[in-house]
Amino acid sequence: MDKWQHTISKTVSFAGVGLHSGKTVKLYIKPAGANTGIRFVRTDLGRNAMIPATLYRVTDTRLATTLAKDDVSVSTTEHLLAALAGMGIDNAVIELDNDEVPIMDGSAAPFVHVLKKVGRKRQKAARFLLKITRRIEIRNGDSMIVIEPYDGFKVSGEIDFEHQLVRKQKFSVEVDAPTFMKEIASARTFGFLHEVEYLRQNGKALGGSLENAIVIDRSEILNAEGLRFSNEFVRHKLLDLIGDLALLGCPVLGHITAIKSGHAQHLQLMKEIADHPECWQFIKWSDNGEESAFEKVVMTTKAAGNKILPFLVPPQVLPVSNSSPLPV
């Protein structure tokens, strides 16, 4: 895992439609300074309409992940955030002229292709990592999500649908940029035809098509090209997981197992992590290996009453002081 923070080497642009809104949107990813994180800016509302990509800005997890600050929102953030995290981009400004990230082809591959082409710029700032030291487990009915100590970042997923073309699927992978590009990035979002029709009747999935989603009928997959992987469905669930976990604000050292989970469970896990500082350490790399900032940072955090909050803003707030953490 990289020791140094990175940003994108130059501005890139994308255009497409929102999966649920059906609205045309143009999006730019721009370089950003060290210790600034990922930020969305709604240019149609003015350049002050900024939303930090943190878990405390999540306002909706139905169908996709939506972030908001005041009356400004951006939805369907997970694929783009997964692309940035998977490619090791720590700092970037994402400008868009509508309220939903374009769905592109339903995966993170179009974003990843461009990010790989333009490359990254190393920054003169150490990377901060969230190292899991104790297991955290959440169960809701037959769904479960667990994070536990691991020397790296690994994700494992399992889904189980009654539909004959999906059934039970499992997949597990240790995530770095090459494996993310090869195994996860191109897995597309999917839906069942009868659900798509219902969603459209209720003002959702208005931009959905066979060009940006796998659509499953009673007995066949309607996309002429078929599947990209035999287990593309569970791989896409892991793509969503990686994108949502990026809202912790820094890379994670740990193994996440997600069984029948979705955006709501991902958010619940992040909140559990935030609420249990005894289960993790916040570290940065140094020339001598790991340098733990755990004790002094958590003491400051507890004194402020904000738990993980300082880690979800630019890391320049890390030095111990009596001042309150920056707003997010």
Q: Which residues are catalytic?
A: 263
DSSP 238-268: HHHHHHHHGGGSS-EEEEEEEES--HHHHHH
Q: Is 1 exposed, middle or buried (0-12, 13-18, 19+ CB in 10 A)?
A: middle
Token output for 90: 């720590």
Q: Provide the token pair at 87.
A: 């490619």
Phi-psi region of 309 (alpha: psi -120 to 50; beta: other; left: phi over 0): alpha
Distance separating alpha carbons of residues 50 and 38, to the nearest angstrom? 10
Separation between Cα atoms, residue 64 and residue 73, nearest integer Å = 13
DSSP state, residue 90:
-
Q: How many CB atoms lie within 10 A of CB 60?
A: 15
Q: What angle do CA 109, 112, 116 make, to 5 degrees?
A: 140
Letter string b/e over residues 292-309, b meaning 16 or more CB atoms within 10 A of that residue's CB: ebeeebbebbeeeebbbb
